[in-house]
Each structure stands twice: as structure tokens, then as C-alpha cells.
Amino acid sequence: MIICPLCFNKTSFTLVDGPDSRAYRECNKCRLIFTETRYLLSAKSEKKRYLTHKNGIKYKGYVDFLNQAIEPALPLLNNAMQGLDFGCGPTPTLSVILEQKGFKCDNYDPLFYPEIHEKEYDFVFATECFEHFFFPAIEIQRIKKHLKPGGLLIIMTETWKSTEAFANWYYARDCTHVSFFHNQTFCYIAEQFGFDAMESNNDRVMLLQKKEGEIEVN
Ligand SMILES: [Zn+2]
């Protein structure tokens, strides 16, 4: 049975042509495009691929890339706040950039930094990780649990624009990319998970603020 890994819709999908041999479906409820579970890689294969990425503070291109997510968030942050880099990868970099600017930021990554403090943060960055989520609903709930009411979630992921363009989209050629979000998918996420969407002025950066008065039930 096919089930949308974000909104759990079980009945209404459109098959979408992708740029590789994987089968893709667009969920007609939340507009997530996702691959079938049989295409999901093992943790071992994923880890191997991530270790080939040249990331780190010494790579200017990568630092500039991450700054796209940091810049729109900066006016909303202050040095008393504590943050988390969710999905930091093998070489934490965003937290280093933030520390250089005077902000405290912990690291979490399911494969490389699996310990997560049981606390609520003022802000959470999730840069280039939403597209790797096997089950976005579970991960978003998890992120939300680690955010204070009024806390900021900064997401960076490239959004899909049209199914025609998806058929040749470079972003879907990476076999570790399995969930693809439309702008409307983020409207669904904001509404469903209790966030207010804010303007970021960058097409691949989404700023979501957890609503005040949202109480977590474990
Ligand atoms: Zn859905």
C-alpha cells in the first residue's frame, strides 16, 4: 500500500516522471513528491555517500551556501539564544559559522552525531536535510519537540516547481534525495504542525515560527 510519508494520505496520488529509474508520486493532498520505500537506501549506503561530500568550514563555497539560510534568520536571533543544527552531516559547519557570530549551536545528525539533548531550543536549522527524510511527518514532529514556543525553524531545501521540470531535475538525481517539497507543501506543514510562515526572500529557504501556546504531548 502507498501512503504519503508527510500527510498519511492513502488514496490520491499522481505518478510523476523523474530524471532516473525510481518511481515518484505526488501526493494530491500535500503536494509532496516522494519515492517508494523500496528505493530508500540503507544507513550504511547513505553514510558512505555523505562521507564523499566535501563540506566543512574551510570550503568557502559551502560556507557561502549555508549563509543563504543564516542571513534571513540573523535579524531574528540574539546571542542569548541556543540553537540546534538538525542534520549537520559528518563535518558540522553551520554551528561553527554561528559560533563565529557569537551564537551557541549544538549538532545533531542521525548517522554522525546521534545524541540529541532532551531540551527545547530557540532555533533549529535544517539545511539540506528535508529532502533526505524518509518520513517527513516523524522528523518534523521531532524537530518541533525540540523547539520552544515562538522558536524559529529555518529550512533550506530546493523546492519543486512543476512536474514537467521534475522530469529532468538535477536535484532528484541524487539517490539520497527522497522527499521533494513544493511551496504549497510548506503551507500544509505550517498549518498542520502549528507554525507561522515568515518571508525569507530566498526561494530555497523557509522560515517557520512555532506558534506560541503550542504544547508538546509526548
Ligand atoms: Zn501528502
pLDDT recorded at residue 50: 79
What is the distance in A from the centroid of ligand 1 to the CA of 152? Answer: 23
pLDDT tens by residue, 68-98? 999 999 999 999 999 999 999 999 999 999 9
Q: Please, which residues have CB within 8 angstroms of residue 123's CB and are 6 or more apart in sequence?
A: 73, 76, 77, 81, 83, 84, 147, 151, 152, 153, 154
What is the distance in A from the centroid of ligand 1 to the CA of 155? Answer: 18
What is the distance in A from the centroid of ligand 1 to the CA of 85? Answer: 26
Domain boundary assignment for the chain:
41-210
pLDDT recorded at residue 165: 97
pLDDT tens by residue, 145-193? 999 999 999 999 999 999 999 999 999 999 899 999 999 999 999 999 9
What is the distance in A from the centroid of ligand 1 to the CA of 99? Answer: 37
Question: d(Cα 49, Cα 46) in Å, to the nearest integer?
Answer: 5
pLDDT recorded at residue 46: 84
What is the distance in A from the centroid of ligand 1 to the CA of 136? Answer: 10
Name the CATH superfamily housing domain 41-210. Answer: Vaccinia Virus protein VP39 (3.40.50.150)
What is the distance in A from the centroid of ligand 1 to the CA of 151? Answer: 25
pLDDT tens by residue, 88-137? 999 999 999 999 999 999 999 999 999 999 999 999 999 999 999 999 99
